[in-house]
């Protein structure tokens, strides 16, 4: 039956392109259909690369290359937790689709940048720049420039900007390192921000945080021994100094690494914060902003992070004592565990309900995952010189 033979041959001729078509239709969903609640990003600092991971079974899903200079990189997420906005040191702002592991768009928006934030409504992404000093604000959808806010002071000087965070009401708050000012840029009435400036807040503000209730902005001062506090419910009252002279009368130690204020920890109405240059974690009462205790620790603390339920604070340290991780019990303020995962512990991130903590151990090229109840290691993932770790739960939070 030659005809039948011909048919079969033709069948394949037609089937192959049809299968390719099928694959194409399937391929429109190159990423797997999955929830984004348990995803996150690990920065591979030296390799200009990020890993996309999931925390349920602790695996890597994708590697994304070509991310520029990722020193001091940080990440925020779109409100649907599908897109990551990665802020690089080279002024790069990269929008990554974490479901497909691909770069959606990348712009180099400044010469030297440090950190960013996403507005409460998810519409705007702001980047804080050292060079030229100021904040640029982009559409989270297209990465097109929406607003440019040069950090002008003393006539025509431009200040480095630091401590950029989002606040309720589509506001961004940031500080001017050189000028000693804090500004609020309010986008609640559209793309032209209303700027409110607070002057003389103290010398050399170097970072800022918003308390977990999103009410207070606190700028850490590098040029003075204290912090500056702004009540965002009452900006008309201006900023006031807190913990003034907390190191007074004591010999300051050389500062090997600036602590990060983003990691300041709130637990049971107290803030746990790394003291600059001292081997101490300070404990601050949030009702009157007074120091109520100091906890001696292994070295100069960099991050002091509270488990989401506020029962533990995990602390890492500056060079040369950066191979140690300590856990403080909040109730007794005692160190209950000291671990030595390896040199250069650069960052930690809790899963949102606190059962795991992910820890970057740069010089061992691994990220370790601990069960926070037992404080035992439960997983280890290879990573090339890992630094920051950022989980999608951040999409739901204010002030990061």
Q: How far is Cα 183 from Cα 150, in angstroms, rounded to an integer?
A: 11
| DSSP-derived secondary structure letter, 45 | G
Q: Which of 64, 73, 147, 214 binds its own copies (CB under 8 A)?
A: 214
At its nearest, how many Å lie between its own copies and the CB of residue 9?
11
Q: Which of 65, 121, 148, 376 binds its own copies (CB under 8 A)?
A: 121
Q: If binding is defined by CB under 8 A, does position 215 make contact with its own copies? A: yes
CB-CB contact of 175 with 185 (8 Å)? no
Q: If binding is defined by CB under 8 A, does position 311 make contact with its own copies? A: yes
Q: How far is Cα 91 from Cα 110, in angstroms, rounded to an integer?
A: 4
Q: How far is Cα 258 from Cα 302, in angstroms, rounded to an integer?
A: 7
At its nearest, how many Å lie between its own copies and the CB of residue 20?
9
Determine how many CB atoms are found less than 10 A away from the CB of residue 263. Answer: 24
- Per CB under 8 A, contacts with its own copies among 245-264 are none
Q: Which of 34, 194, 197, 199 binds its own copies (CB under 8 A)?
A: 34
Encode burial over 122-156: b for 16+ CB neighbours within 10 A, e otherwise: bbbbbbbbbeebbbbbbebeebeebbebebebeee
CB within 8 Å of 374: residues ≥ 6 apart? none
Phi, psi of 358 (to 5 degrees): -105, 135
Total residue count of the chain as it appears in this document: 400
**Mask for 55-74, x = binds its own copies (CB under 8 A):** xx------------------
Q: If binding is defined by CB under 8 A, does position 169 make contact with its own copies? A: yes
Q: Which of 48, 51, 74, 78 binds its own copies (CB under 8 A)?
A: 78
Q: If binding is defined by CB under 8 A, does position 81 make contact with its own copies? A: yes
**Mask for 370-399, x = binds its own copies (CB under 8 A):** ---x------------------xx-xxxx-
Which range of residues in 166-174, 295-303, 318-326, 336-344 is near its own copies by CB under 8 A?
166-174
CB-CB contact of 193 with 186 (8 Å)? yes
At its nearest, how many Å lie between its own copies and the CB of residue 229?
15
Cα angle value 178/184/188 (rounded, 5°) = 155
Select 22 or 108, whichever has its Cβ closest to its own copies: 22
Binding residues for its own copies, rule CB under 8 A, total 68
Q: If binding is defined by CB under 8 A, does position 268 make contact with its own copies? A: yes
Q: Token pair for residue 56?
A: 């349920």
Q: How far is Cα 209 from Cα 206, in angstroms, rounded to an integer?
A: 11
Binding residues vs its own copies (CB under 8 A): 7, 10-11, 14-15, 18-19, 21-26, 28-29, 31, 33-39, 54-56, 77-83, 99-100, 120-122, 168-170, 188, 213-215, 233, 267-269, 286-287, 308-311, 331, 351-355, 373, 392-393, 395-398
């Amino acid at each position: 039956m030659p005809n039948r033979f011909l048919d079969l041959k033709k069948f394949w001729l037609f089937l192959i392109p049809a299968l390719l078509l099928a694959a194409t239709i399937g391929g429109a969903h190159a990423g797997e259909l999955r929830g984004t609640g348990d995803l996150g990003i690990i920065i591979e600092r030296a390799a200009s690369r990020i890993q996309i991971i999931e925390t349920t079974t602790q695996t890597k899903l994708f590697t994304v290359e070509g991310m520029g200079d990722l020193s001091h990189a940080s990440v925020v997420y779109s409100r649907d937790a599908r897109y990551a906005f990665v802020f690089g040191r080279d002024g790069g702002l990269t929008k990554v689709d974490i479901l497909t592991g691909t770069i959606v768009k990348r712009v180099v928006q400044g010469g030297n940048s440090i950190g960013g934030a996403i507005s409460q409504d998810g519409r705007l992404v702001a980047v804080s720049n050292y060079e030229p000093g100021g904040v640029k604000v982009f559409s989270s959808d297209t990465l097109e420039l929406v607003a440019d806010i040069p950090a002008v002071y003393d006539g025509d000087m431009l200040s480095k900007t630091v401590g950029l965070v989002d606040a309720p009401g589509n506001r961004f708050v940031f500080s001017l390192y050189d000028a000693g000012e804090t500004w609020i840029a309010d986008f609640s009435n559209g793309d032209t921000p209303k700027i409110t400036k607070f002057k003389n807040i103290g010398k050399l503000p170097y970072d800022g945080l918003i308390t977990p209730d999103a009410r207070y902005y606190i700028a850490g001062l590098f040029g003075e021994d204290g912090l500056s506090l702004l009540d965002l419910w009452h900006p008309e009252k201006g900023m006031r100094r807190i913990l003034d002279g907390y190191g007074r009368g004591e010999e300051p130690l050389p500062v090997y690494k600036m602590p990060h204020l983003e990691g300041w920890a709130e637990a049971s109405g107290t803030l746990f914060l790394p003291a600059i240059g001292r081997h101490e974690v300070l404990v601050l009462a949030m009702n009157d902003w007074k120091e109520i205790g100091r906890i001696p620790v292994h070295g100069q603390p960099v991050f002091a992070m509270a488990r989401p339920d506020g029962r533990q604070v995990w602390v890492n340290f500056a060079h040369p004592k950066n191979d140690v991780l300590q856990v403080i019990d909040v109730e007794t303020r005692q160190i209950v565990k000291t671990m030595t995962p390896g040199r250069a512990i650069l960052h930690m991130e809790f899963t949102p309900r606190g059962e795991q903590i992910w820890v970057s151990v740069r010089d061992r090229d691994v990220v370790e995952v601990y069960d926070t109840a037992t404080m035992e290691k439960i997983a280890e993932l290879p990573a090339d010189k890992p630094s920051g770790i950022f989980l999608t739960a951040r999409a739901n939070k204010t002030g990061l």
